[in-house]
Amino acid sequence: MATKATNTQTEPTPDPAAQLDVLGDECARTILIATSESPKTAKELTDRTDSSSATVYRRINNLLEADLLAECVRFDEDGSHTTAYEATIDQLRVRIDSGGIAVTQSNSGG
């Protein structure tokens, strides 16, 4: 009987403090949620967050630096393409103990 392979990985994050800092911002959380549904352009994220485009681009950059978001290319039916962003994680777990704070993320390959 064949077993189904899974693409889920759990790995320690490079900078847990940066990820937690980024997630403390409501606009960044909204971007992460929106991009977990499907890739979104900066304009779509600006519309979704009701924030200025400058604010959205700052949050996108913060999420990219924290490895919570990735750039991708989205092709339209007319053959044009644009940069879009997609969430890179499904779960982020925080463990607090006497050794400090540890953050691990679960990534699901698509």
Contact 95, 101 (CB under 8 A): yes
- C-alpha 32/C-alpha 60 separation (Å) is 9
Cβ 104 vs Cβ 13: under 8 Å: yes
**Residue 25 CA from chain centroid, whole number:** 13
- pTM (predicted TM-score): 0.74
Extents of the domains making up the chain:
14-108
- pLDDT of 9 reads 45
User: Which runs of consecutive H residues, i.e. helices, occur in the chain?
Assistant: 16-23, 26-37, 42-49, 53-65
pLDDT (tens, 9 = 90+) of the chain, 110 residues, equals 444 444 444 444 457 778 888 889 999 999 999 999 999 999 999 999 989 999 999 999 999 999 899 999 988 888 888 999 999 988 778 888 888 777 777 775 54
Residues contacting residue 12 through CB under 8 Å, at least 6 positions apart: 102, 103, 104
Q: Supply the pLDDT for residue 6.
A: 40
Candidates 3.20.20.70, 3.55.50.30, 3.90.79.10, 1.10.10.10; CATH matching 14-108:
1.10.10.10
